Structure 1
């Protein structure tokens, strides 16, 4: 009986995995075949397979790059994601360290207020956010895309919990050696928080890379569009080719897969750790 239960469990997990992988397989395979083949194979297993003619595999990608400035859109997305990722790690780590180890008036109240912000949907404050950016004169500015994404209540919460579990004796010992708060933060706390850094870095990269509504609202110059906004333009520019749409979607997905694979080990530790880097 235990053997049968194990087979059933893994069988169900396999079916669930296939259910989630199916759209990804169809997207990639559709980008590697001609427009006609996509609709011809739609009702068969071949829909999940690339073209049997290897010469057709890169045709949609070549045509896509010929029609649109994909390299510029990729550069914009990578630039925005890199700034948001680095900024999120630094800013949220400093805020989390302050909440965890500094004692100041109203600390608990401010932290409770910060946690309350987690239940506020982003859509409810986006108009206010736009008004602030407009008053700062940053509309259609690249800075306007990244600034609202850097500070994040959840990331501060994660760093705060991580730093809070670090014994105060570690900090006291460093102070006895003559280290200041800044040196302690950079040379002791940050190296100890690699799982939290990887978690925040990965999640902030994903948030920035997938961000669509905010860049669409704040940018008017198409040359500054990130890839996600550009996809909408590609999808509405006649003539529209399904294989080219699948190609650009595949291109936009690859960096997310790479980042997750590279950070998977630390990501799991960061989400499951108690604050010392240990599970």
Structure 2
């Protein structure tokens, strides 16, 4: 087992320490919900306010007005109610199980699959399983993009290091450190995606191990984005982007190139990395 590993990360929250490992990240009988950022509402209201008031009136000093609006919005709604990490119990039912046909349709949000759904997916033919796996990676990359700074450039990983490293997420991390962890998480997701070039996709026994690795990455991304919400990363990025463009009408325009575009890259570009990842993760042996 020399050189082989499970994915791992640590979390420190309210002085409690938790260790997570892909060794233990199995599907359950329940439909556990993925963390949903309640700051989506705050950003929605802030965007409407900026377009309705600040941009329309061409305020030369918009920050005072924006800060006052945010303060009033937090006071009115209670900031605590917008940043919660309430995890449903593993056996709790929160949605109807998906049929094999429904499993092939890309979900609107990231979900955890039940044992029954996992077994149906494992029994898919290679092309359908590959389609499902690609959709899962796209959802993860889309979530990462919501928290990414627009001017930060992410690059494709070349080494297994990014899926081997064991970060610790805590409220002691600075915003810059959280942004770096998000970049590393992007590379971790692509390391996982590189397995699409290997026999892991075709081998039903190895697919079971892939589910463990995918579940682990989902949990890690939940914890990381939750911590970034506590640090107001998305709101700060939103305001910074606004100030960089104001009063230009280009504010609010999304990037022409998306993070998930990389999944349509030729498989050959992932092949070497995929073989290295497959040879390193214990769950895939």
| TM-score, length-scaled by structure 2 | 0.24
Question: TM-score, normalised on structure 1?
Answer: 0.25
Q: Which has the higher helix share?
A: 1
Max Rg structure: 1
Q: Identify, as 1 or 2, the structure richer in strand.
A: 2
